[in-house]
Amino acid sequence: MKNDRHIIVIGSGFAGLSAASVLAKNGYHVTILEKNDQAGGRARVWESEGFKFDMGPSWYWMPDVFENYFALFGKKVADFYDLKRLDPGYQIYFGKDDVMEIPASMQQLEQLFEQEEPGSSANLREFLKQAAYKYKVGMGEYVFRPSHSITEFIDFRLIAASFRIQMLTSMSKHVRKYFKNPKLIKLLEFPVLFLGATPQNTPAMYSMMNYADLALGTWYPMGGMHEIVKAMVKTASEQGVEIKLNHEVLKIETENGKVKYVITNQGIINADFVIAGADYEHVDQTLLDKADQNYDQKYWDSRTMSPSSLLFYIGLNKKVDGIQHHNLFFDEDFELHAEEIYTHPKWPQKPLFYVSCASKTDASVAPQGCENLFFLMPVAPNLKDEEATREYYFDLMVNRFEKITGQQIKDAIILKRSYAHRDFITDYHSFKGNAYGLANTLSQTAFFKPAMKSKKIKNLLFTGQLTVPGPGVPPSLISGQVAAQEAMKLMR
């Protein structure tokens, strides 16, 4: 049954594409308005001189979430792209000649833990058993709730589960209960660095990320992460979604508590319902009149944001030995860098950083005999972003990379592009130039996050990484599905 009501989705990131496709499948007339010249939000792609770079997400975790999404449309991931499990999933450099490879095999992983901390493999089994339970409850129950109010969680089974998934214990305390070895602690705490808080301030329920990492594995879609976007665009188009690129929404016009139309840089478009997948703060504070806003600026300024990133996309005219697809450089103080992101925000003294080399897995992303590198340094949001600062940290990271890996790369660079706070703001209207949305602290979890539903406008919902369930590609995919279901309830 076709429904003649017109739904506008602002933004074609994972949440926007997800929401639009589910609504179109259910018979609604859906148009996505995308500010930039390609779909995908932060998961855009940049191609130059035979190199192809994923500009945003580079880790593919929680493969079940993608399978479940495409299954809604009678499809499988394999219908769209070739997914390869990486082995090792990644490696961690603790210093020169001090490298830890994280194997895909659980047996080899247990051997690795035993080698670092004798007797720890039994603890790892128990830790991951608990993490598996958290993943099952967290990804199966919590994330699909719209979190309009606490009443959604007043359910004895869920309350009991909340204690079992350790909503109130810190990740730091939880990890140290099982492990003493500093390297193993760093390995287990690293995923939360991108959740937006120190391990001391992150609920232990997020050890579900360790289950996603160590048990479900690290994967890569051949051709790059943008292949997921292409698959979602194809799915959306097959459902009848119209995607308008280079259409930036400038204003959401309302009347009597309802959206009437949106004003874009290309003209006016009528809307019976709007789902905003663009940056929540920008939509709330800039696109809506003051009387229609969910929050005031004081509220937004009091939010704890996840990190921003300083990124470099680099093409080399030679191959690099020894490195893997994903490489973490943890040769400096983990806690100091976390403090400089979250507690006392400033440009870091001795940062940790990450290097992706997708050409180790995928020959299509670089010319023959060349290498595709992606340097990422997590930094506090809202910092002064100047060219000289970028170059200082580029030299710092490359020098450490060369020293630790024993590989000279500076003279082999034939392509280079930087990306940081001001680019996130220009391209995505990202609040304070953040890269990963809102921090997953306990006081910003579930119904404590910015509300999915507008408090003033009956036919407006928000989706994406600044609302429920939170930041990351799989949660954004789910956020779009939840927003679509809520929109359909409101339109009945």
| Dihedral angle, C-alpha 453, 212, 337, 316, nearest 10 ° | -110
160 confidence band (pLDDT: 50, 70, 90): low
pLDDT score of 165: 59
pLDDT per position as a tens digit, 35-54: 999 999 999 999 999 999 99
Instruction: Name which of 102-111, 164-173, 325-334 the model is least confident about.
Output: 164-173
Up-side HSE of residue 83: CA atoms within 13 Å toward CB? 18
pLDDT score of 385: 98
pLDDT per position as a tens digit, 287-315: 999 999 999 999 999 998 989 999 999 99
Residue 159: pLDDT over 60? no
Which residues in 154-168 are b (16+ Cβ under 10 Å) and which e? eeeeeeebbeebbbe
Residue 151: pLDDT over 70? no
Residue 134: pLDDT over 90? no
- Residue linked to tokens 């300024």: 301
d(CA 403, CA 285): 46
Which one is predicted more confidently, 400 or 343?
A: 400
Q: Average pLDDT in the 244-272 region?
A: 98
d(CA 286, CA 293): 9
148 confidence band (pLDDT: 50, 70, 90): low
d(CA 172, CA 201): 8
Residue 210: pLDDT over 70? yes
**Across the beta sheet with 28-33, what order do the strands follow?**
242-244, 28-33, 3-10, 273-276, 460-462
Which one is predicted more confidently, 470 or 271?
A: 271
pLDDT score of 152: 44
For 127, residues 6+ apart whose C-beta sits below 8 A from its C-beta are 175, 178, 179, 188, 207, 210
pLDDT per position as a tens digit, 79-92: 999 999 999 999 99
Phi, psi of 482 (to 5 degrees): -65, -45
Residue 157: pLDDT over 80? no
Q: What is the mean pLDDT of the chain?
A: 93
Residue 164: pLDDT over 80? no
As a whole-number percent, the residues of the chain with pLDDT over 90 amount to 82
Phi, psi of 349 (to 5 degrees): -80, -50
pLDDT score of 201: 81
176 confidence band (pLDDT: 50, 70, 90): very high
d(CA 423, CA 400): 25
pTM beyond cutoff 0.85: yes
As a whole-number percent, the residues of the chain with pLDDT over 70 amount to 95
Q: Average pLDDT in the 146-156 region?
A: 54
d(CA 263, CA 138): 38
d(CA 99, CA 326): 13
Which one is predicted more confidently, 4 or 461?
A: 461
Residue 163: pLDDT over 80? no
pLDDT score of 192: 79
Residue 171: pLDDT over 60? yes
pLDDT score of 146: 79
pLDDT score of 445: 75
Strands (E) across 384-489 are located at 413-419, 460-462
Residue 1: pLDDT over 70? no
Instruction: Name which of 33-37, 159-163, 170-174, 277-281 the model is least confident about.
Output: 159-163
